[in-house]
Amino acid sequence: MLISRRSVLRTGAVAAGSLVLPRFAIGQTARPSITIAVQKITNSNTLDVLREQSNVGERVFFGSIWESLIGRNLRGQLEAKPLLATEWTRIDDQTVELKLREGVKFHNGDELTADDVVFTFSRERMFGDTQPKNRSTIKVLGQIPTPRAGKELPPEVPAVARRAWPDLARVEAVDEYTVRFYNATPDVTLEGRLLRYGSDIMSRRGWEESASYLDWARKPVTTGPYKVVHFTPDTELLLESHDDYWGGLPPLKQIRFVEVPEVASRVNGLLSGEYQFACDIPPDLIGEIESNAAFEVQGGTIPNHRLTVFDKHHAQLADPRIRRAMTHAVDRQAIVDSLWAGRTVVPAGLQWPYYADMFIADWTVPEFNPELAMSLVKEAGYKGDPIPYRLLNNYYTNQVATAQVLVEMWKSVGLNVQIESKENWAQIMERGETRAVRDWSNSAPFPDPVSSIVNQHGPNGQQQQIGEWENAEMNQLCEFLETSVDRAARRKAFARMLEICEREDPAYSVLHQNATFTAKPKSIQWKAAPAFAMDFGPGNFAI
Amino acid sequence: MIRYIASRLLRAALTIALVVTFAFIVLRLSGDPATIILGPEAPPEAIEAFRHNWGLDRPVLVQYFDYFRAILRGDLGISMRDGRSAIELVGERIPATLALTIPALFLQLAIGIPAGVYAALHQGTAFDRTVMVSAVFGFAIPSFVLALALVLVFSVKLGWLPSGGRDSWMHAILPILTLGLGGAAALARFTRSAMLEVLGRPFIRTASAKGLPWAAVVRGHALPNAAIPTVTLVGFLVGSLIAGAVVVESVFSWPGVGRLLVVAVSNRDLAVVQCLLLLVAASMVTSNLIVDFLYGVLDPRLRQGARAGA
């Protein structure tokens, strides 16, 4: 065979063409496959919902792999909706009974039964040797097998599980399709906890047949519309359609998440047709991408708020008037308009509308009032001593730019806030005289204030645990909110908590709601959820 | 000679020990892996459980000595993030990195040395100036800029080559070009300088005066003498084969050692970082030893000096 320069070039061109041809275009007649470029697939290198508690994990888990008994409506406003349970009823203040959806198949072909639910909430899978607050013992129907070698849970898994279910006493199978959750104390948030990240159901047989925890955690057997084919940490996650999915045939044959750390590379890959979705797009690139008529950027607010957090024990912040001045000096809308292209919002304090009847609709963040801020600074007798602001380099989107804006706003009312750049969270949170102001974000994993203000700023929350802030009345209210079943009284208590934490004795200041943006070709019909989760379930993808 | 080798090996071991110690101190003092790996919203109980499990709640000195003892036993530890042995994790990534760096090294040699030699032999010509301008550009442009420029042209505009990933041999072309062009530029400049210096020496004039053909003068006298500084640079390039593609691997989403290093450092995954540093230090030290040996081969004066010293 004669090999000429021309034939080599022709062969190369054909090969290149076939490689860069958009994957979904190859199988137009069948269901398409897509590639999604993300900055990070998971932080923990596992696909275990209890080990990977992160935004990036949420993106690949929900709407694709994992499902809970009660779900969040990803195509609405995250309100509760039946998922693996079709109905649920309160037996009493401490007990919820759920009817399981019949005919749900796991990725291994088994049918979902109450036994799988009981196992999901067992010591072997979830709680290890942790105890609920009242020291009663989790009971599971049947014998709890002693973890085999290699099947021991990583220590953070039981800790996360117990934080999610502090008082869960036991879960029982009433019959093959009915389960009961027994709490040790009265709790109105049980249903909410069932839809939170981490309460998702797995196959008991899938766990038992795995050689080790890590093997299972890299390929969990669940009920979602897509099953894991393989997961190469830090590189790619390949999912394929679970054709027996209870909700109908998934619209995609395969979904491939690839890790592309550089945003420029994600955008280039999208423009060249290698990726159908490019995630984690910073707001300042939205205009540039949309200047190409074939592409659009979707997404928006997620249930996560950006905060400025105060250490009330710092000498300059001990007087609450200084912290109040800091909350009034910030023009939050200006930050949203300038740094977020107006594509997020200033929320009503540390709460979300999906709290439903617990949402305090008439609450707002402290108004932007520089005159009031200046008078508070004056009243407090502030002498201009430096207030350190420990800052990470863009852990959060726009973090450094926001910090610079904040420092200027605080300066304009007479506060001398000085940025100290830090490398990681341990340095940010380290106790010491230079800890005064830092950044943080708070989520609400389930629709109740217990999931956020109590869990993050209450007596067991991070802010109090690391000694930044405490308030006796707030702590009493937290206890009340966790145990009371009087919804009106709980609502009143929550309103008071917002008043304490955001006005009277500021623990933090809410800046804006966080948002995430995903770029895609306009030719793909897909609707982003108001969350990090990417929904590729039946009915949400078409070309 | 045995004494010479022993002293070199001792120095190499000391270098590696210092690298390991330095990395331990810097990584341990700059952040708690528990907070970094579990994230800022992790419950305090989870962080405590993680720290206890990995022994991070013990005094730093105790952790250091335990770690050092383990290294001496050949145990480089378990990745806190992955739960697997650090050696296994690093070993998985080495082939991917070598798949870029070895072809890139050949590309650098294939372009850099002939271009440098030819430019020196034709000093002041248009070719020389073109080579030097290209070399300055190639040397000065950061690899991530060159990488993105190549992607824009060959992936986005022309659609000829993929922009990232490691699905086929075609995915390697742009990363190899990025690494190869930058290195070739440096090598061309080095080679040209070395050649010009040698060409100005009296023995070149003497060889020409004896009536040797110019090609023989260059081949027999100029090239071997100019090779010494060039070999130093090539030795450095060979030593960088393992970890010389950190930026390029990030830009091209290439799952090699460089990306593993970035992720491991940012997560304070000490066992993996130490394993990588040991590997890098070992490859550098080895290539330096080889370069030292090659000096002796290339330069008879060194051989004679060594014999006289012995």
Which two structure tokens, joined as six digits, stand for A138?
A: 């989790």
Contacts of A298 (CB under 8 A, 6+ apart): A517, A518, A519, A520, A526, A527, A528
Give the integer Cα–Cα distance in Å for A110 and B252: 41
**pLDDT single digits (tens) B135-155:** 888 888 888 889 989 998 998
Inside any domain, residue B60: no
Strands in A485-535 per DSSP E: 508-521
Question: Smallest CA–CA separation between B247 and chain A, in Å?
Answer: 10
DSSP run (H or E) holding A300: strand A295-310
DSSP run (H or E) holding A309: strand A295-310
Select the more confidently predicted residue: B265 or A238: A238
Q: In the prediction, which pLDDT does A27 show?
A: 44
8 Å CB contact of A260 and B164: yes
Select the more confidently predicted residue: B19 or A201: A201
Q: Is the pLDDT of residue B100 over 60?
A: yes
Q: Which of B247, B229, B230 is nearest to B101 (CA)?
A: B247
Check: CB of residue A510 under 8 Å from CB of residue A502.
Answer: yes
Check: CB of residue B84 under 8 Å from CB of residue B275.
Answer: no
Question: Smallest CA–CA separation between A37 and chain B, in Å?
Answer: 10
8 Å CB contact of A16 and B46: no
Q: Which residues of A touch B246 (CB under 8 A)?
A: none
Q: In the prediction, which pLDDT does A462 show?
A: 85
Q: In the prediction, which pLDDT does A2 show?
A: 39
Q: For chain A, list residues with pLDDT below 70.
A: 1-29, 132-149
Question: Smallest CA–CA separation between B63 and chain A, in Å?
Answer: 18
Q: Which of A15, A214, A443 sits opposite B41 (nearest CB)?
A: A443
Q: In the prediction, which pLDDT does B4 show?
A: 67
Inside any domain, residue B127: yes
**Number of alpha carbons in the 13 Å side-chain half-sphere of residue A120:** 28
Q: Which residue of A has its CA nearest to B168?
A: A19
Question: Smallest CA–CA separation between B203 and chain A, in Å?
Answer: 45
Q: In the prediction, which pLDDT does A354 show?
A: 87
Inside any domain, residue B14: no
Q: Which residues of B touch A455 (CB under 8 A)?
A: 43
Q: Which of B39, B43, B255 sits opposite A159 (nearest CB)?
A: B43
Average of per-residue pLDDT values in chain B: 83
Q: Which of A423, A455, A462 sits opposite B30 (nearest CB)?
A: A423
8 Å CB contact of A423 and B82: no
Which two structure tokens, joined as six digits, stand for A266?
A: 């994600």
CATH number at residue B116: 1.10.3720.10
* Domain span at B107: 94-255
Inside any domain, residue B49: no
Inside any domain, residue B172: yes
Angle (CA) B117 B118 B124, round 5°: 110
Q: Which residues of A touch B162 (CB under 8 A)?
A: 19-20, 272, 274
Q: Which of A163, A264, A271 sits opposite B45 (nearest CB)?
A: A163
Inside any domain, residue B279: no
Q: Is the pLDDT of residue B302 over 70?
A: no
Question: Smallest CA–CA separation between A366 and chain B, in Å?
Answer: 24
The complex scores an ipTM of: 0.76
For an interface test with B, which of A41, A52, A163, A268 has the most B Cβ atoms less than 10 Å from its Cβ? A268
| Helices A487-499, A472-483: inter-axial angle, 10-degree rounding | 150
Q: Which residue of B has its CA nearest to A164?
A: B43
Tell me, letter by letter, the H, E, C secondary structure of B149-170.
Answer: HHHHHHHHHCCCCCCCCCCCHH
Q: Which residues of A touch B49 (CB under 8 A)?
A: 155-156, 158-159
**pLDDT single digits (tens) B208-234:** 888 888 888 888 888 888 888 788 888
Inside any domain, residue B233: yes
Q: In the prediction, which pLDDT does A502 show?
A: 97
- Sequence letter at residue A331: D
Backbone angles phi, psi at A130, to 5 degrees: -75, 160
8 Å CB contact of B155 and A232: no
**How crowded is residue B114: how many other Cβ atoms within 10 Å of its Cβ?**
15
8 Å CB contact of A424 and B39: no
Q: Which residues of A touch B37 (CB under 8 A)?
A: 43-44
Q: Which residues of A touch B51 (CB under 8 A)?
A: none
What's the number of domains chain B is made of? 1
Give the integer Cα–Cα distance in Å for A24 and A479: 52
Give the integer Cα–Cα distance in Å for A376 and A32: 60
8 Å CB contact of A15 and B48: no
- Sequence letter at residue A287: G
Which two structure tokens, joined as six digits, stand for A34?
A: 């897509």
**pLDDT single digits (tens) B158-207:** 989 988 888 889 999 999 999 888 888 888 988 999 999 988 889 888 98
Question: Smallest CA–CA separation between B22 and chain A, in Å?
Answer: 18
Q: Which of B36, B43, B84 sits opposite A424 (nearest CB)?
A: B36
Q: Which of B277, B270, B273 is nearest to B80 (CA)?
A: B270
pLDDT grade, residue B54 (50/70/90)?
A: confident
Inside any domain, residue B139: yes
Segment A330-335 long-range contacts (CB within 8 Å, at least 24 positions apart): A330/A368, A330/A406, A330/A409, A330/A410, A330/A509, A330/A511, A331/A368, A331/A409, A332/A365, A332/A368, A332/A511, A332/A512, A333/A368, A334/A405, A335/A402, A335/A405, A335/A511, A335/A512
Give the integer Cα–Cα distance in Å for A57 and A73: 18
Partners of A420 in beta bridges: A390
Q: Which residue of B has its CA nearest to A159?
A: B46
Q: Which of A368, A293, A296 is nearest to A517 (CA)?
A: A296
Q: Which residue of B has its CA nearest to A262?
A: B251
Map residue A1 onto helix, strand or coil.
coil
Q: Is residue A105 classed exposed, middle or buried when 0-12, 13-18 and 19+ CB atoms within 10 A define those classes?
A: middle
Q: In the prediction, which pLDDT does A29 show?
A: 55
**Number of alpha carbons in the 13 Å side-chain half-sphere of residue B157:** 7
Which two structure tokens, joined as six digits, stand for A48?
A: 């275990």
Strands in A362-503 per DSSP E: 387-392, 417-422, 437-443
Q: Which residues of A touch B167 (CB under 8 A)?
A: 19
Query: Parallel, antiparallel, or unpaired for β A33-38 and A254-259?
Result: parallel
Q: In the prediction, which pLDDT does A239 show?
A: 97
Backbone angles phi, psi at A299, to 5 degrees: 115, -175
Q: Which of A170-184, A435-449, B90-104, B294-308 has the lowest mean pLDDT?
A: B294-308
Q: Which of A439, A427, A433, A431 is nearest to A510 (CA)?
A: A439
Question: Smallest CA–CA separation between B251 and chain A, in Å?
Answer: 6
Q: pTM of this prediction? A: 0.82
| First vs last C-alpha separation in chain A | 43
Q: Which of B81, B159, B170 sits opposite A272 (nearest CB)?
A: B159
8 Å CB contact of A268 and B165: no
- Sequence letter at residue B169: W
What is the share, in percent, of chain B residues with pLDDT greater than 70?
93
Q: In the prediction, which pLDDT does B78 show?
A: 86
Check: CB of residue A297 under 8 Å from CB of residue B285.
Answer: no
Max Cα distance, chain A (Å): 92
pLDDT grade, residue B39 (50/70/90)?
A: low
Give the integer Cα–Cα distance in Å for A68 and A62: 9
DSSP class per residue in chain B: -HHHHHHHHHHHHHHHHHHHHHHHHHHHHT--HHHHHH-TTS-HHHHHHHHHHTTTTS-HHHHHHHHHHHHHTT---B-TTTSSBHHHHHHHHHHHHHHHHHHHHHHHHHHHHHHHHHHHHTTTSHHHHHHHHHHHHHHHS-HHHHHHHHHIIIIIIS--S-SS-SSSGGGGHHHHHHHHHHHHHHHHHHHHHHHHHHHTSHHHHHHHHTT--HHHHIIIIIHHHHHHHHHHHHHHHHHTTTTTTHHHHHHTT--SHHHHHHHHHHTT-HHHHHHHHHHHHHHHHHHHHHHHHHHHHH-HHHHHHHHHH-
Q: Which of A355-359, B36-40, B50-54 has the lowest mean pLDDT?
A: B36-40
